[in-house]
Amino acid sequence: MSVLGVLGGGAWGTALAQVLASGGHDVRLWVREPEVIEAINGTHENPLFLPGRTLSDRIEATGDITWVAEAAAVLVVTPAQHMRSVLADLPRHGQPLILCSKGIEAGSLKFLHEVAGEAVDGSPVAVLSGPTFAHEVAAGLPTAVTLAAEDAALAHQLAATIAQPTLRPYVSTDVVGAEVGGAVKNVLAIACGVVEGAGLGQNARAAVIARGFAEMTRFGLARGARAETLSGLSGLGDLVLTCSSTSSRNFSLGVGLGQGRPAEELLSDRRTVAEGAHTAPVLAQAAAAAGVDMPVTEAVCQLLDGADVGRVVEALLTRPLREEGF
Ligand X SMILES: NC(=O)c1ccc[n+]([C@@H]2O[C@H](COP(=O)([O-])OP(=O)(O)OC[C@H]3O[C@@H](n4cnc5c(N)ncnc54)[C@H](O)[C@@H]3O)[C@@H](O)[C@H]2O)c1
Ligand Y SMILES: O=P(O)(O)OC[C@H](O)CO
* Binding-site positions: 12, 32, 102, 130, 132, 134, 185, 238, 248-250, 273, 275
Residues 40, 80, 159, 194: which binds ligand X (CB under 6 A)?
80
If you write DSSP's letter for every residue of 59-82 in order, what string do you get?
A: EEEES-HHHHTTSSEEEE-S-GGG
User: Of 102-161, which residues contact ligand X (CB under 6 A)?
Assistant: 102-103, 132-134
Between 14 and 95, name the residue whose CB sits nearer to ligand Y: 14
Does residue 77 interact with ligand X by CB under 6 A?
Answer: yes
**Residue 147: is it exposed, middle or buried by C-beta count within 10 angstroms (0-12/13-18/19+)?**
buried
Does residue 272 interact with ligand X by CB under 6 A?
Answer: yes
Q: Give the interface segment with ligand X, choosing from 119-127, 150-158, 268-276, 288-296 (CB under 6 A).
A: 268-276
Q: Which one of ligand Y, ligand X, none is in contact with 30 (Cβ closer than 5 to 8 A by kind)?
A: none
Footprint of ligand Y (CB under 6 A):
102, 131-133, 186, 189, 238, 241-242, 248-250, 275
Residues 60, 63, 72, 82: which binds ligand X (CB under 6 A)?
82
Q: Which one of ligand Y, ligand X, none is in contact with 82 (Cβ closer than 5 to 8 A by kind)?
A: ligand X
For the chain, state the CA radius of gyration: 19
Between 174 and 275, name the residue whose CB sits nearer to ligand X: 275
Measuring CA to CA, how many Å separate 112 from each of 29, 38, 74, 175?
A: 20, 30, 15, 10
Contact 1, 70 (CB under 8 A): no
Considering the complex, what minimum distance in angstroms separates the CB of residue 217 from ligand X?
A: 21
The contacts of residue 100 (CB under 8 Å, 6+ apart) are 12, 13, 16, 75, 76, 77, 127, 128, 129
Considering the complex, what minimum distance in angstroms separates the CB of residue 144 from ligand Y?
A: 11
SS3 143: strand
Measuring CA to CA, how many Å separate 310 from each of 213, 257, 299, 306?
A: 23, 11, 11, 12
Q: Please state, in angstroms and rounded to a whole number, the distance separating the CA atoms of residues 146 and 162.
A: 12
* Total residues at interface with ligand X (CB under 6 A): 25
Q: Which residue is nearest to ligand X (CB)?
A: 10
Q: Which of 28, 58, 84, 185 is catalytic?
A: 185
Does residue 258 interact with ligand X by CB under 6 A?
Answer: no
Contact 106, 79 (CB under 8 A): no
Q: Which one of ligand X, ligand Y, none is in contact with 258 (Cβ closer than 5 to 8 A by kind)?
A: none
User: Of 14-43, which residues contact ligand X (CB under 6 A)?
Assistant: 32-33
Q: Does 110 participate in catalysis according to the annotation?
A: no
Q: Which one of ligand X, ligand Y, none is in contact with 241 (Cβ closer than 5 to 8 A by kind)?
A: ligand Y
Measuring CA to CA, how many Å separate 21 from each of 14, 27, 157, 294, 310?
A: 10, 6, 18, 41, 48
* H or E element that contains 7: strand 3-7
Residues 78, 161, 217, 302: which binds ligand X (CB under 6 A)?
78
Does residue 101 interact with ligand X by CB under 6 A?
Answer: yes
Between 26 and 136, name the residue whose CB sits nearer to ligand X: 136
Q: Around Cβ 72, how many Cβ atoms within 10 Å? A: 14
Q: Please state, in angstroms and rounded to a whole number, the distance separating the CA atoms of residues 224 and 238.
A: 20
Count CA within 13 A, CB hemisphere, residue 179. 28
The footprint of ligand X (CB under 6 A) covers 8-13, 32-33, 49, 77-80, 82, 86, 100-103, 132-134, 272-273, 275
State the catalytic residues. Answer: 185
